[in-house]
Amino acid sequence: MKTSPILAVLLALISLSLPGCHAREEQPEVEQQTVVVTSPKVRNVVITQQYVCQIHSQRNIKVRALQGGYLEAIPVKEGQAVKTDEVLFTVIPTLYKAKFDAEMAEAKLAELELQNTERLAQQNVVSQREVALYQAKLARAKAKAKLAEAELNFAMVRAPFDGIIDRLHEQQGSLIKEGDALTTLSDNSLMWVYFNVPEARYLEFMAASSLEKEAEHIELVLANGSKFPYPASSLRIEAQFNNENGNIPFRADFPNPNRLLRHGMTGSVRIHRPLNNAVVIPQRATFEILDKRYVYVVDKDNVVHQREIAVRNELQDIFVIERGLGVDDKFVYEGMRQVHDGQKTEYEFRPPDRILADQQHRAE
């Protein structure tokens, strides 16, 4: 029976679609990577811990009016540095000045009356009891004069310490009441930098050394990434933990002679702490499964075993191991995709010093 051309084409297409009926493309051979094994390295490292911080002036207060009235011309400007006892604001003191003058006049009159009574007492015209009465009257008049003087002085608001004036909340001619906030005064000579430390880190601090020595390892990083040029002068720890987040507030004090830092700024605190005889391994030798970190350990029979490790700290390209590996263990550094748990393998051993040196060279 003769096959039609159309049927022949269909039979040819069907045959090509069947498995095994066409030539298999040649696949390039994958080059096997050498399995490289190394050991943990014991060495001294510097651990850096970074915390977000808030920067506060050591003294930051609201300057309030001590008396009510109208503000006179304000002698200071926003952002101006002022000295202790410098006049910042003056409330029109007409009423207080008049009261002070009246009380001073009463005190002067009482003094004259006392002098006259003492002269009469010397002539035995009046008794000593009369003298004592006028002495008390003079004392009362002087006390009322001092009170009037204090009220007059309250009309002038002075700087209680050296600092920087913030925004002026009231202007000349404003009618203010007693207790109204006029501005804010900040003493920026020393800044208090607050940051929260987890409980575990707090225990490390307390077990390490004195807080004075720990302050030497603290540096302040500003919002633009630059380092504050002055080191911390002291370190303080507050009394109570925050039960909600498990943190405790720390405070590092930084001198601020150039007044670069201002109240309310933010940044980061870096604490560099030396750690002696730490067990370190390359980060690339580990892998993660369900938030747990593992390495492939090679036993004395060259059999690979998956082992969980606990990382204490993370540095550049290396992990500081808390538990799971010892200095005598061997683990897979390269070729992890070529091994699996329970497999016997051949490998090349490289000393850990060489591995870490190669990592540092690549980082540079």
Full DSSP string of 193-226: EEEEEEHHHHHHHHHHS-HHHHHTTEEEEETTSP
Question: In a 10 Å sphere around its CB, with 0-12 CB exposed, 13-18 middle and 19+ buried, how is residue 40 labelled?
Answer: buried
Question: In this predicted structure, what is the pLDDT of residue 25?
Answer: 46
Question: In this predicted structure, what is the pLDDT of residue 32?
Answer: 58
Domain over 36-45+277-363 is classified CATH 3.40.50.720: no
Distant-in-sequence, close-in-space partners of 119: CB < 8 Å, separation ≥ 6: none
Distant-in-sequence, close-in-space partners of 90: CB < 8 Å, separation ≥ 6: 71, 72, 73, 155, 156, 157
With 90 as the cut, is the pLDDT of residue 243 above it?
A: no
With 60 as the cut, is the pLDDT of residue 28 above it?
A: no
Question: In this predicted structure, what is the pLDDT of residue 115?
Answer: 86
With 70 as the cut, is the pLDDT of residue 87 above it?
A: yes
Domain with CATH 2.40.30.170 in the chain: 49-58+187-275
pLDDT digits (tens, 9 = 90+) for 101-119: 888 898 898 888 888 888 8
| Tokens describing residue 154 | 């309250």
Domain with CATH 1.10.287.470 in the chain: 93-154
Distant-in-sequence, close-in-space partners of 89: CB < 8 Å, separation ≥ 6: 63, 65, 71, 72, 74, 156, 157, 170, 182
Domain over 49-58+187-275 is classified CATH 2.40.30.170: yes
Do 221 and 227 form a contact (C-beta atoms < 8 A)? yes
pTM over 0.95: no
* Residue type present at position 207: A
Question: In this predicted structure, what is the pLDDT of residue 11?
Answer: 53
Domain with CATH 2.40.420.20 in the chain: 36-45+277-363
CA quadruple 299, 338, 336, 339: dihedral sign: negative
Continuous H helices in the chain: 5-17, 94-122, 128-154, 199-208, 211-215, 352-363
CATH of domain 93-154: 1.10.287.470
With 50 as the cut, is the pLDDT of residue 24 above it?
A: no
Q: What is the CA radius of gyration of the chain?
A: 41
pLDDT digits (tens, 9 = 90+) for 258-280: 999 999 999 999 988 888 899 99
